[in-house]
Chain A
Amino acid sequence: MKKMKLPLWLKNFLLFLSILGPGLITASADNDAPGIATYSMVGSNYGYNFLWLILVITVGEVVILEMAARMGAVTGKGTADLIREKFGVKMTTFAMFCLLIANLGTTVAEFAGIASAGELFGISKYVTVPILALFMGLLILRGNYKIIEKILIALSLAALSYIATVFIIKPDWGVILHDTIRPQIQLSRDQIISMLAVIGTTITPWAIFYLQASVADKGVSMEGYKDTRIDVTFGSAWGNVISACIIIVSAATLFKAGIRVEDAKDAAMALAPLAGGASTVLFAVGLLGASLLSVSVLPLSTTYAVCEAFGFERGLNRSFRDAPIFYGSFIGIIVLSVLIVLIPGMPLFQMMILSQTLNAVLLPVILALVLKLANDRAVMGNYRNSKVTNVLAIAITFLIVFVTAVLLFEPLIELI
């Protein structure tokens, strides 16, 4: 074969790109529909005061996803497999219940994203949601959606427009730095819910399951694990750069103008400096692409995890008769999500954000199990967690538990 002469930097860059894989995909999913909704809301309501949280979560996300990836590489098994094999039926049932609720919430949020995007184009949700749900469902069941997947990835690249917008609006970086280091937070109910939503949309239970399964499926071994670690670290960092850009843009445009995001139309205005009158279209396209992309992964990966844990027959190559629970729960998740979104008068945007709060509240359950597994000598052998990893992961778990506790007990505290 002819060897092309490439400059060294280009060669290194291409090598770097070839490493990227599941980690990047997983972390990009931070910026799915509920993600965009949450970051827009947080930016428009609290300005730059939540940026510090993004920094903290980036560290947390890298640490937690790295654990999941490492478990996948060492054991070659899925998270649900390991939970079942280590903790037995009762704990597995509890963990799968939490996962199911969290993922159902997120799936509802994705369909709410589709509904919002449709409404920006002036199409009723009663038209867009059932049609697209049916379309995606059939596509996934046919198991061959590689082309559609590429189109969806391209559509969701619209989120990059937030980076472009940051350069156009030229925010005051001094203020941003100041607010990041010395944020003004009052632990009000709304702020706590928002904090949890930001955590829950960035570090999700399903990302842990999905990443570990992808790494295990790729057959990554510990010799090739270094690349996976780079992939995960870079992917998380990149996903959160975009998250931060969404917050900065929303803060510099909407928050400044005193607009509080209530629905997709408000959030879309943040892109006006870049796209002018077309900002609604740009926002809607991005939202739709991101939502559909997540819909193509989320219900199926949830179904796989649950069936794996309980040993139900599973896989798209099985017939409906052989794997009734697999297909039944897959269709069930989609139908239930669609029905919830179609309830008349549902506040779509609020629903997207609250689903992510729910994610965060359920996350510690999964994190505790993952931490236990990643420290188990019988499971991980010589690749157990380092002290640093444990300290960071436990810290982020406690942060979530603490914030959740404040949320739950705040009404009581106010009574006193």
Chain B
Amino acid sequence: MIYLSKLLDQKVWDAFGHVVGKLDDLLVDNTDQTMPPITAIGIKDGSPQPKLIDAKDIATLWPSITLNVDISKLDLFQPVGHELYLKQRALDQQIVDTEGKRLVRVNDLQIARKNNRFYLTGVDVGGTGLLRRLGLENLAKSVAKLLKKRWKTHVIPWEDVASIEHDDPLRLKVSQDRLVQMEPADIASILDDLDHHTSKALLQGFTDEQLADTLEEASAEVQQAVISALQPERAADVLEEMDPDEAADLLADMDDQVSEQLLKLMEDDDEEDVRILLRYPEDSSGGIMTTEFASVPGNFTVEQALHHLRTNEEAKDDEFMFYVYLLDQNKRLQGVISLRDLVTSPLNQQLSNWFDDDTVIVNPLTPQEEAAYLVAKYNLMAVPVIEPESNVMLGIVTVDDALDTVLPTAWKKKMPRFAGR
């Protein structure tokens, strides 16, 4: 294996043994491929700008860098703009390891030869790469041998990394395509570790839905930074895609004028959902509830209810459907039926069989802790939120939102990245 750090500053020889200069950089193209080809080398020869030579002139890179042409007949390379300069733009930078789902630093780059061409194959992110850069590789290897430890290099294949540069649209696109394959929670935790310029740039290319999913898992700081960087119309679209309770939390932290502007730009029903939530304190049941829940009129039969859930547009949007709530025409809660009971019951059975006055409920001002306690005590997946005077059902507090106080989904929300902030 050839490593970039071993090549840099080595002398470059032409076909007749003349020194052309010293190696300054390697350029690769098509970084979306598994093994991007090296297209040119940069050579320092005393002129102010390094000379770029086409890769077809390279005879060998290791153990010495030799060209297969005469120094007077070098093929100069014209960059088109989206080549990646390995030393300048990849070495020592941070990249995302999409397999390991973390941010790592490039300690070295691995290059391989195939059919007389050279390719970038992997990224060394391990301690051995650091030691190589420090010129301590041989010493460390002997020590490892002495201690009978295996010498392990930590090289990530190029296909499993996403570079996080944000100044080249084409390469940014490659990174985004690789990033979106990760879980939103993993993307969010990486965004927290990134500087805000880069995280903004990366997220710009996400679809509204991808962006919404990621933001739901991100820390308050990242949410604010990203939403305020977007065009207001786009921001409103993203907020519509988010869970209303998460969108409300986000808007509550924003400047009043800005959040009002964004709310007005949202679709009416989404706006309404969020406005209801905004009325309640952040740590009350009303503040953490979701207004999207599955409900059917209480006078239905099992068959009608199943049909309604399959065909109704609103019902299709509900991500959380462990229970179906039975409501009267004034949206007052009459009873609850679990999806299991609904599916296993005879089709002609009346839903009124499940009417119950003692359903566990909370009101919107019930503290989050109490909702969590009820959910835990009665082994519920969700608890309905009822407006006290009118008995109208407003939404549900789901188990994961209720337990957020005990076990925050985004650990980062409670943790300072830097002490003393």
Contact = CB atoms under 8 A, between A and B. Distances in A.
A317 B256 contact: no
Contact of A297 (B92, B196, B412, B420): B420
A315 B193 contact: yes
Interface in A296-317: 296-297, 300-301, 304, 310-311, 313, 315-317
A90 B225 contact: no
B419 A300 contact: yes
Interface in B309-327: none
Closest 6 CB pairs of A and B: A311-B105, A76-B195, A89-B133, A300-B419, A317-B411, A219-B196
A144 B414 contact: yes
Given A76-B197, A85-B93, A90-B134, A311 B125 contact: yes
Interface residues of B, number: 33
Interface stretch (A120-128, A209-217, A228-236, A273-281): A209-217
A296 B420 contact: yes
Contacts of A372: none
A354 B415 CA distance: 35
Max chain B C-beta neighbours (<10 A), residue from A140, A296, A315:
A315
A311 B134 contact: no
B130 to A, nearest CB: 6
Contact of A219 (B104, B130, B225, B415): B225
B107 A75 contact: no
Given A88-B92, A217-B417, A317-B415, A75 B134 contact: no
Nearest to A300: B419
Contact of A89 (B93, B134, B189, B418): B134
Given A75-B197, A296-B419, A93 B102 contact: no
Contacts of A140: 419
A149 interface: yes
Interface residues of A, number: 34
Contacts of B75: none
B101 to A, nearest CB: 11
A89 B416 contact: no
A222 to B, nearest CB: 11
**A-side binding surface: helix, strand, loop or mixed?**
helix
Given A84-B92, A143-B416, A315-B417, A76 B198 contact: yes
A145 to B, nearest CB: 8
B125 A214 contact: no
11 contacts: A89-B130, A89-B134, A90-B133, A140-B419, A143-B415, A143-B416, A217-B421, A219-B196, A300-B418, A311-B125, A316-B416
Nearest to A297: B420
A281 B125 CA distance: 52
B409 interface: no
Contact of B256 (A1, A85, A88, A297): A1
Given A85-B92, A90-B133, 14 more contacts: A75-B195, A85-B93, A90-B134, A143-B414, A143-B415, A143-B416, A217-B417, A217-B418, A219-B225, A297-B419, A297-B420, A300-B418, A310-B105, A316-B416
Interface in B370-421: 411-412, 414-421
B94 interface: yes
Contacts of B419: 140, 296-297, 300-301
Contact of A149 (B134, B198, B420): B420
Contacts of A265: none
Contacts of A296: 419-420
Interface in A1-19: 1
B267 interface: no
Contact of A311 (B94, B224, B414, B417): B94
Nearest to B103: A311
